[in-house]
A and B are shown apart, each in its own frame.
Chain A
Amino acid sequence: MSATAGPRASGGEQEANPLNILLESGDPAGSSGYEQHPPRMGFFTDTSLCIGCKACEVACKEWNAVPEDGLNWTGNSHDNSGGLGADTWRHVAFVEQRVAVGEHEPNFQHLPAAGGDGADGFRWLMASDVCKHCTHAACLDVCPTGAIFRTEFGTVVVQQDICNGCGYCVPACPYGVLDKREDDGRIFKCTLCYDRLGAGQEPACAKACPTDSIQFGELDELRARAAGRVEQLQQAGVVQARLYGESPDDGVGGDGAFFLLLDEPEAYGLPPDPIVTTRDLPRMWRNVGLAAGALLAGAVASFAGARR
């Protein structure tokens, strides 16, 4: 079962959203006003190939001059950067699981317990997480300064000379990608190496990945490739293999950076069914208007009937 299978509507309360033209288009660059634009670019991160080397984390830091993100030991397997944030734009998750394992499982050690059928093995899932560059990006919608913008490649980038550190995008992101750099005050996240893309180069993390777990390219091509890969894994008996974020029908209109996972998304710290909250904003604005009207009406009634 794909975590993102099925129609986007949840609870049958979907409404047309006049506020956000992006919600009606699978072409984010085009609907952001680029008349001539290159194809939408993105990442396909195939976690079945990840060996947890963290070359992506290092390459990202080197290229983008991202400061260190805390020299500490978390005790959570080999993960010492914790999660995505202002100073961690690629994050390699290490999931240790006691499971019964198979002969051809990726990322496992073949260790059935001694004595009996228990088949108690150990599986190590590694996954390099990154900004999803959503089709309908909540961070971009809520940014009050216009600092966050859509590039011609369909990616989402924060302009550091505009951002005033209001922090609205931080809780708006359903994936927990953006965060404030405390000593700086502004918000930082993955740019999908906008500078490298402009020069016709692939992003630093994809360039550095030694196993091609991180694949960069045109999103349409990546989606086709991912569909083939998941089928290949399924046929090889890896029934847990599923794509995450590839479907344009999910709650964010599909991710520009999507994944092949070997377990439920939440095991990797990913939300199982993320939505862009802006899609509920028309109803919120309507209720804001009704509430303001009710307040004024209540005040009028309070004055109209009051004794002197």
Chain B
Amino acid sequence: MSEAEVTRDGLQGVRPGREARTWSQRDAAAGSRDGRAGARRRRRGREDEFASYYGKPIINLPVWEERDIAGYLFAGGLAGASSILAAGGELSARPRLARRCKLCASAALGVSLAALVHDLGRPERFLNMLRVFKPTSPMSVGSWLLGAYGPLNAAATASDVLGVAPRAGSAASVGAGALGAGVASYTGALIANTAVPAWHAGHRELPFLFVGSAASAAGGFALLAAPAQESAPARRMAIVGSAAELVAERLMERRLGMVAQALHEGSAGKRLKAAKALTAGGALGAAALAPRSRLAAALSGAALLAGSALTRFGLFEAGMASARDPKYTVEPQRERLRERTQATAAT
């Protein structure tokens, strides 16, 4: 054991004699475990410093590409909710609304599937997703859901566009609408069932946030693309969806506690702020101006689509940011431990 320590300020330290006291003895005498200096200073209250390992993340960062997976969260939601609008248009004799929404759903689904397969480390093995069915894995459930929803959606679109088998096409459209609700909502569980702090802490609200965002996007598309005389239901769905999205996001932010910082800072914060403005503005425009002006309807619809996309990309980035900084992993866990210790002490 060396006698001295070489520091930037030169040689320091001498070998102590036998009388040197150990910190553990000294602390035992002082009756304190936190008395030692240096390694860790704890302050009272919420602003605890914690020891991190060179500031490195505790969990490994998701390996998902933002363009693929955040893009899928948006496109999948748009597809699912568009299929619902299409089914509604089908059943309520609004053929142009129905056809445009079917085409939108098919295009968005195509983009989704391409993004999902592209994001795999081994795209040629994408069929392995259907090897098993595991309710413990939202990705497995989602794969089967897409496996059922995709063909129905394609059949409904093909029947409409080609004008063949109209009754089967209608049935497929209604089926796609029913499954579309699942497609729009399961992605909440998909990202929440991870150790990513901002995603998992929002696991109660995310499905509602996502269906709201999906309804807002699909309604926005219909406002943009469908003729005014058929788009009234889409307008209503867009307004209700936007409101649901904004309320769910607010509730989620309150639940997240300190993790909500990840939703407010950096590029995630900018995206989510812009998303809120676009969603609220688009919904207001849809409510107040869209019935009177075709242009206002189209602009509102575009704002709603952009708002929904930015919500998904913003929440994706917020999750990444919360995974990068170990404080988002450690501090809530420390808080949980403290509460548990207090609860144990109280009983």
Is residue B81 contacting chain A, with contact meaning CB distance below 8 A?
A: yes
Chain A residues lying within 8 Å of B233, measured Cβ to Cβ, are 299, 302-303, 306
Is residue B78 contacting chain A, with contact meaning CB distance below 8 A?
A: no
Binary interface encoding of chain B residues 156-170 relative to chain A, with 1 for a CB under 8 A from any of its CBs, else 0: 000000000000000
Residue of A122, A144, A162, A306 most packed against chain B (CB within 10 A): A144
Query: Are B52 and A266 closer than 8 Å at their CB atoms?
Result: yes
Query: Are B53 and A267 closer than 8 Å at their CB atoms?
Result: yes
Partner of B22, one of A6, A101, A109, A267: A101
Partner of B185, one of A95, A101, A104, A291: A291
> A54 vs B81: C-alpha distance in the bound complex, in angstroms?
54
Chain B residues lying within 8 Å of A162, measured Cβ to Cβ, are 128, 131
Distance between A262 CB and nearest chain B CB, rounded to angstroms: 11
Number of residues of chain A lying within 8 A (CB) of chain B: 110
Partner of B240, one of A105, A168, A283, A298: A298
Chain A residues lying within 8 Å of B323, measured Cβ to Cβ, are 171
Q: How many A-B residue pairs lie within 8 Å, measured between CB atoms? A: 345
> A85 vs B29: C-alpha distance in the bound complex, in angstroms?
43
Query: Are B37 and A100 closer than 8 Å at their CB atoms?
Result: yes
Is residue A170 contacting chain B, with contact meaning CB distance below 8 A?
A: yes
Query: Are A291 and B60 closer than 8 Å at their CB atoms?
Result: no
Distance between A133 CB and nearest chain B CB, rounded to angstroms: 16
Query: Are B63 and A266 closer than 8 Å at their CB atoms?
Result: no
> A105 vs B25: C-alpha distance in the bound complex, in angstroms?
11
Among B274-324, those with CB < 8 Å from A are 323
> A294 vs B57: C-alpha distance in the bound complex, in angstroms?
37
Binary interface encoding of chain B residues 138-154 relative to chain A, with 1 for a CB under 8 A from any of its CBs, else 0: 11100100000000000
**A6-B341, A100-B37, A164-B122 are known contacts. Are A146 and B1 too (CB-CB below 8 A)?**
no
Chain A residues lying within 8 Å of B38, measured Cβ to Cβ, are 97-100, 120
By secondary structure, the B interface counts as: helix
Distance between A200 CB and nearest chain B CB, rounded to angstroms: 31
Among A1-58, those with CB < 8 Å from B are 1, 3, 5-7, 10-11, 19-20
> A99 vs B36: C-alpha distance in the bound complex, in angstroms?
6
**A165-B122, A283-B204, A296-B178 are known contacts. Are A98 and B333 too (CB-CB below 8 A)?**
no
Residue of B40, B59, B88 most packed against chain A (CB within 10 A): B59
Query: Are A266 and B214 closer than 8 Å at their CB atoms?
Result: no
Query: Are A82 and B330 closer than 8 Å at their CB atoms?
Result: no
Seed contacts A142-B193, A163-B122, A287-B204; 9 additional CB < 8 Å A-B pairs: A98-B39, A99-B39, A119-B26, A237-B22, A239-B33, A263-B40, A263-B51, A292-B211, A308-B229
Which B positions have Cβ atoms within 8 angstroms of A? 1-2, 4-5, 12-16, 20-28, 33, 36-40, 50-54, 56-64, 81, 84-85, 88, 91-92, 119-123, 125-126, 128-129, 131-132, 134-140, 143, 177-178, 181-182, 184-186, 188-189, 192-196, 200, 203-204, 206-208, 210-211, 214-215, 229, 232-234, 236-237, 240-241, 244, 323, 326, 329-330, 333-334, 336-337, 339-341, 344
List, sorted by A's number, 23 A–B pairs whose CB atoms are closer than 8 Å. Answer: A5-B344, A76-B54, A100-B38, A141-B136, A145-B131, A146-B134, A162-B128, A168-B137, A171-B196, A172-B195, A176-B57, A180-B63, A263-B51, A267-B39, A267-B51, A267-B53, A271-B58, A271-B330, A273-B336, A273-B337, A289-B185, A292-B211, A294-B244
Which A positions have Cβ atoms within 8 angstroms of B? 1, 3, 5-7, 10-11, 19-20, 74, 76, 79, 82-85, 93, 95, 97-105, 109-114, 119-120, 122-123, 138, 141-147, 162-168, 170-181, 184-187, 237-240, 263-264, 266-274, 277-278, 280-281, 283-285, 287-296, 298-303, 305-308
Q: Top 10 nearest A-B pairs by Cβ distance? A: A165-B121, A185-B121, A102-B22, A269-B53, A164-B125, A98-B38, A291-B207, A267-B51, A100-B23, A292-B181
